[in-house]
Amino acid sequence: MALMQEGALPLIQLAVTPVILITGLGSLLLTMTNRLGRVVDRTRILAGQVRTADTAERSHLRSQLRIMYRRAKLVRLAVTLAATSMFISGLLVVVIFFSALLGKAFSHVIVGLFVTAVLFLLGSLAAFIRDIFLSLVAVGSEVDRVLQEFPDAGQTASSKSGPSSTKSL
């Protein structure tokens, strides 16, 4: 019982921080993989439409396909970086336990792993944010195309949101 109070309990408390990071990363990964699934599904739909579209429509759809492919690569990068951060956080928990179990200070390794995990997380978030901006480029392209095809539709939309509101984002 004394070991539990003197040794194991502080060790468990110390290991909680990376476990919380792992939990947050799990939620983030769930969000990112759902987004990746939506991008893949939309890409498949666009690819099918390209095959049956006329020349003018095909050019626009191919442009959208290129954007979707870039988005898929960005989300894949974000997922990879987040998963790597989660893996490093798991290693961090193991090192913390071995440090306490062996009675050796691995403080440089612990700090290095923690900083590395956070850097991978930040890289993941940067790629994810880039995907969000790229998705707005695709939406802006769709809006511009519709407004060119149906100029009277733009008058109603522009009176509510101002001219070229999609380009300023």
Residue 97's pLDDT band, with cuts at 50, 70 and 90, is: confident
First to last CA, the chain: 60
What's the pLDDT at 31? 93
Question: Which of 59, 114, 65 shows the shortest CA–CA distance to 85?
Answer: 114
Pinpoint the alpha helices (H) of 53-106.
Answer: 55-102
CA atoms within 13 A on the CB side of 70: 15
Q: Which range scores top for mean pLDDT: 69-78, 89-98, 153-162?
A: 69-78
Global pTM reads 0.77
Cβ contact 58:111 at 8 Å: no
pLDDT tens digits for 102-144? 888 888 998 999 999 999 999 999 999 999 999 999 899 888 8
- List, in order, residues 6 or more apart from 158 with CB less than 8 Å away: 165
Q: How far apart are CA 107 and CA 29, in angstroms?
A: 28
